[in-house]
Amino acid sequence: MNVFIMGALTAGLRSEEIAHLCELDRAGVIGFGDDKPLGSAAVLRAAFMYAKPLGKTVCVHCEDASLVSEGHMHEGVVSTILGLNGRPRSAEDIEVARAIILAEETGVRLHILHLSSAKSVEIVRQAKAKGLNVTAEVTPHHLILTDEAVMGYNTNAKVTPPIREISDREALREGLADGTIDCIATDHAPRCLEEKQVEFPLAGNGMIGLETAFSLLMTELVKPGLFDLKDIISALTVKPSRIYGLGKGTLIPGSDADITVIDPAFEWVVQPDLLESKSKNTPFMGKTLKGAPVLTMVGGKVVMKGRKIVA
Amino acid sequence: MPLDKRGLLGIYGLTRDDIMGILDLAREYKARVEREGFKHCDKFKDYTVANLFLEPSTRTRFSFEQAEKALGARVLNFQGQGSSMAKGESFADTCRTIEAIGADLLVIRSPVPGSQEFAANMLKIPVINAGDGQHEHPTQALLDALTMMEYKGDLRQKTVLRVGDISHSRSARSELFTMKALGADFVMCGPPNFVLPEYYGKLGARVTHDLDSVIGTADIIRTSRIQRERFQKMFMQPGEFFSMYQLNLKTLAKCKKDVLIMHGAPLRRGEEIISEVADGPNSAIFPAMRNGVYVRMALIDIFLGGGLK
């Protein structure tokens, strides 16, 4: 498997001082980002200014810390029914706008991680229309689920940013279709049983996604005719490669033989023993999916065959 | 969630028939106790009920214990201090322990929303929710409904007004679901940042922030204590809150003459309500507490008696 290293944007992910960006750059990180809510605009602006001449992509997890500090899920009717404090859409929207404004001012290459709200998609769309060098991603779960997935206090549906409503999901799909959203990323976040088999507010955030991503997208978006398979493949391969300048995700002669073979007819039911991940924290357990990778080659070597890791 | 063998986890999802069934049985127990007093009864003498209270409680805890003993059950009372939870034992393992040592029914009060559903999904014994964070307090809503119907009859023609802190109130949430199931016109009134109209409106409540606009039409007014730390969290000064939403003689003067005044207690006299109103002729605050025992007797009977699928 290809594993690339992302450098921290701020020291200790604390949003207080800029991390050692130059040293991280020389050590070979592909970009910078904390993947958690950021602090003051002053820190963010300074970090962007500092990162700009390094030419690498800066990624931001967009949630205003003061608006999500006590929240456990999307703020809406479902959170009201469950009596859980919410993480409102505005938390993301404000932060997306702030990051874009600071990226425009500093000229840094900005990538917005896992969009979840309709308005955030619109803000990115406007920025791109202005010609700003900003990119964005979305996860399979934000494209497929809604906050109803949390009903019954399902801790495997507890993620940040939270899964929101149908109107958001539709906007994310539109954004992916019109190119506002460049790529699909899993935000794969393994959690052990001790972190998920607890009361909902105490549970850790995140779900695993690597092994279900393609099958979910195929089943929910391609088979019903919402997306072309080639666009989904592009959003999973060549586009993320371009965002980080990896030179991968292509089959032109001379490139690395990183190849995934898809069987569009392969049907499987998500079950713990069919997952190679040690962690099983997925809300898609028990779901029947159609279409799956059946062979993976990395650098010319077969590493997965018949849904089992072989090297 | 429907009323099933997992217990009473909340009101959300219950039907009018579910609720009326519980209240009918509560009325039977009330009639018996009024006739005979809390006479010794050994109906459930071979059963054990455990009370796991992880938050301070006077009424709910005593009321459950009174109900359990009135039905002859053996009672285990959990003490937070001196327990293994103080040593870092998880809530889950505490619940499993209580089941393992032989409890047949578990009553839980917890500051964490969803604790009871989490426990009920894990255990084989039924669980009754005695309040979970800001989620629900179903037995409170049921005792309120029983009291409202005693004074006002069928609630389908009635306007029930809930005043004060809505968003942090588990009893307000349970009451909303109860009142909608029973067909009442349910109005929620509090500061805009404490009652988000978009969400509560979709759940069937009428929402207003202007007490004067609705107070004259209410048949029943229900208020509650507001915790001091809520003001800070909502960036609001208490003085403004109480001047707008306190039940006092001025607000009472605008009400229907026979309005019923209710409060879940504990009372913070002089804050959300003044003594002249709390102790006045319209108040059903203390009779409601007695009804709480009958509602809980009914629930214990339902879940220990095996009357459910």
A82 touches chain B (CB under 8 A): yes
Q: Which residues of A touch B92 (CB under 8 A)?
A: 197-198
Active-site residue, A187 included: yes
Number of domains chain B is built from: 2
- Buried-state track A195-207, b at ≥16 Cβ within 10 A, e below 16: bbebbbbbbbbbb
The Cα of A60 is separated from the nearest Cα of chain B by a number of Å equal to 27
The Cα of B257 is separated from the nearest Cα of chain A by a number of Å equal to 34
Q: Would you call B200 and A197 a contact, using CB atoms and an 8 Å cutoff?
A: no
Q: Would you call A84 and B199 a contact, using CB atoms and an 8 Å cutoff?
A: no
CATH number for the domain harbouring residue B263: 3.40.50.1370
- Chain A nearest-CA residue for B11: A81
Q: For chain A, which residues score pLDDT lower than 50?
A: none
Domain that holds residue B13: 3-136+289-305
Q: For chain A, which residues make up each domain, given as ranges?
A: 61-251
- Chain A nearest-CA residue for B203: A77
**Could you tell me if B288 and B65 are in contact, meaning their C-beta atoms sit under 8 angstroms apart?**
no
- Distance from C-alpha of B175 to C-alpha of B136, rounded to nearest angstrom: 9
The pLDDT assigned to B308 comes to 57
Asked whether residue B48 falls in the same domain as residue B93, the answer is: yes
Q: What is the DSSP letter of A277?
A: S
The pLDDT assigned to B2 comes to 60
CATH topology (fold) of A61-251: TIM Barrel (3.20.20)
Q: Would you call B114 and A77 a contact, using CB atoms and an 8 Å cutoff?
A: no
Asked whether residue B119 falls in the same domain as residue B178, the answer is: no
Q: Which residue among B91, B92, B199 sits closest to A80, beta carbon to beta carbon?
A: B199
The 10s digit of each residue's pLDDT in B103-118 is 999 999 999 999 999 9
Q: Which of B117, B138, B131 is nearest to B51 (CA)?
A: B131
The pLDDT assigned to A150 comes to 98
**Could you tell me if B144 and B122 are in contact, meaning their C-beta atoms sit under 8 angstroms apart?**
no
Asked whether residue B275 falls in the same domain as residue B163, the answer is: yes
Q: Please state, in angstroms and as integers, the Cα–Cα distance from residue A236 to each residue in A138, A140, A149, A221, A248, following that order.
A: 10, 11, 24, 14, 11
The 10s digit of each residue's pLDDT in B213-231 is 999 999 999 999 998 888 8
Q: Is the pLDDT of residue B309 over 60?
A: no
Asked whether residue B269 falls in the same domain as residue B295, the answer is: no
Q: Would you call B118 and A200 a contact, using CB atoms and an 8 Å cutoff?
A: yes
- Chain A nearest-CA residue for B135: A83
Asked whether residue B22 falls in the same domain as residue B84, the answer is: yes
The 10s digit of each residue's pLDDT in A241-295 is 999 999 998 889 999 999 999 999 999 999 999 999 999 999 999 999 999 999 9
Asked whether residue B203 falls in the same domain as residue B146, the answer is: yes
Name the active-site residue from A187, A228, A263, A273. Answer: A187
Asked whether residue B176 falls in the same domain as residue B79, the answer is: no
Asked whether residue B78 falls in the same domain as residue B13, the answer is: yes
Asked whether residue B73 falls in the same domain as residue B197, the answer is: no
Asked whether residue B282 falls in the same domain as residue B189, the answer is: yes
pTM: 0.94
Asked whether residue B93 falls in the same domain as residue B218, the answer is: no
